[in-house]
Homo-oligomer: A and B are copies of this chain.
Amino acid sequence: MVSVVILGAGNVATHLFKAFKESDNISVIQWFNRSIDSIKQYKNEVTTTDDLSMLKDADVYILAVSDDAIASLSKQLSLKDKLVVHTSGSVNVYDLDKKHKRGVFYPLQTFSKGAKMNFANVPICIETINKSDYHILKELALSIGSPLKKVNSDQRRVLHLAAVFVNNFTNQLYRVGHEITESQGAEFDLLKPLILETAKKIQDISPYMAQTGPAKRNDIKTIKKHLKTLESNHHKDIYKLLTSSIQQTHGRKKL
């Protein structure tokens, strides 16, 4: 049994709390947040507090707070020689105060408010400064059914950066697709199965092998027609840059 104190009340904190609660192998003994209001709805399920000096004794303290708050919060903890981990993709493990045994428990996934997360689909990237602390975080990940991977701070920073491309930027392309269709009388919903299939395809074959379309075929006629159809210069810029990117990847001439 691993005992845990959660600090923070954002999406990651909340999803972890719910997953931990369902595991027979994990006991969430306390939930801290600066504003107690954000977590008061859980007060029948767990001891809540907004007082750092009242933190209980636990095996792991999980700082699921914003990147900027991690260093200062870890400094304020009057714990000694306790395992304290953060959940951020881009913060170095050494940014945690050095009085702690330090580690990272980074769930590489996008969390929405509301929707329940199946942690079998959430790879946990684990880092610890002391080798002996690794097994506790491993046990935490396994107890919620997550795949896990030892990932150092450099690798984690790179994964977080790549995640911006495949998540935030991809979502923005969906948004552009939404703008293009809705502004010209077509229905965005018709694209949803394609969006899902594009993501599914990549689970089995490489993005290089999965590529299709006018840019890869170097189909200049269609590319020109598309640029003419686009009404916004901003959309044209994205079209040109990503077309040229595909052509570069697949050894075609540039626009």
Check: A173 CB closer than 8 A to any chain B CB. Answer: yes
Check: A35 CB closer than 8 A to any chain B CB. Answer: no
| Across-interface contacts of A201 in B (CB, < 8 A) | 110, 112, 171
Check: A54 CB closer than 8 A to any chain B CB. Answer: no
Copies of this chain present: 2
Residue-wise, chain A 180-221 has the 8 Å CB interface mask toward B (1 for contact) of: 110011111011111111111111011110111111100001
Could you tell me if A203 and B192 are in contact, using CB atoms closer than 8 angstroms? yes
In the bound assembly, the distance between CA atoms of A208 and B162 in angstroms comes to 21
In the bound assembly, the distance between CA atoms of A12 and B196 in angstroms comes to 18
Shortest Cβ gap from A21 to chain B (Å): 22
In the bound assembly, the distance between CA atoms of A174 and B209 in angstroms comes to 11
Check: A170 CB closer than 8 A to any chain B CB. Answer: yes
In the bound assembly, the distance between CA atoms of A149 and B201 in angstroms comes to 25
| Across-interface contacts of A198 in B (CB, < 8 A) | 110, 166-167, 170-171, 199
Shortest Cβ gap from A183 to chain B (Å): 9
Could you tell me if A166 and B194 are in contact, using CB atoms closer than 8 angstroms? yes
Check: A75 CB closer than 8 A to any chain B CB. Answer: no
Selected from B191, B222, B248, the residue in CB contact (under 8 A) with A234 is B248
Smallest Cβ-Cβ distance to A217: which chain B residue: B66
Smallest Cβ-Cβ distance to A189: which chain B residue: B123
In the bound assembly, the distance between CA atoms of A203 and B197 in angstroms comes to 12
Shortest Cβ gap from A118 to chain B (Å): 10
Check: A164 CB closer than 8 A to any chain B CB. Answer: yes
In the bound assembly, the distance between CA atoms of A216 and B175 in angstroms comes to 13
Could you tell me if A216 and B181 are in contact, using CB atoms closer than 8 angstroms? no
Could you tell me if A187 and B241 are in contact, using CB atoms closer than 8 angstroms? no
Could you tell me if A186 and B151 are in contact, using CB atoms closer than 8 angstroms? yes
In the bound assembly, the distance between CA atoms of A121 and B31 in angstroms comes to 43
Check: A168 CB closer than 8 A to any chain B CB. Answer: yes
Could you tell me if B195 and A245 are in contact, using CB atoms closer than 8 angstroms? no
Check: A169 CB closer than 8 A to any chain B CB. Answer: yes
| Across-interface contacts of A176 in B (CB, < 8 A) | 162, 165, 245
One of A40-48, A95-103, A153-161 contacting the partner: A153-161
Could you tell me if A67 and B222 are in contact, using CB atoms closer than 8 angstroms? yes
A-B contacts, 22 of them at CB < 8 A, read A90-B222, A108-B190, A108-B194, A110-B194, A110-B198, A112-B205, A121-B197, A151-B186, A158-B184, A159-B190, A159-B191, A166-B191, A168-B211, A168-B212, A168-B215, A168-B242, A169-B242, A170-B199, A173-B173, A174-B210, A176-B245, A199-B200
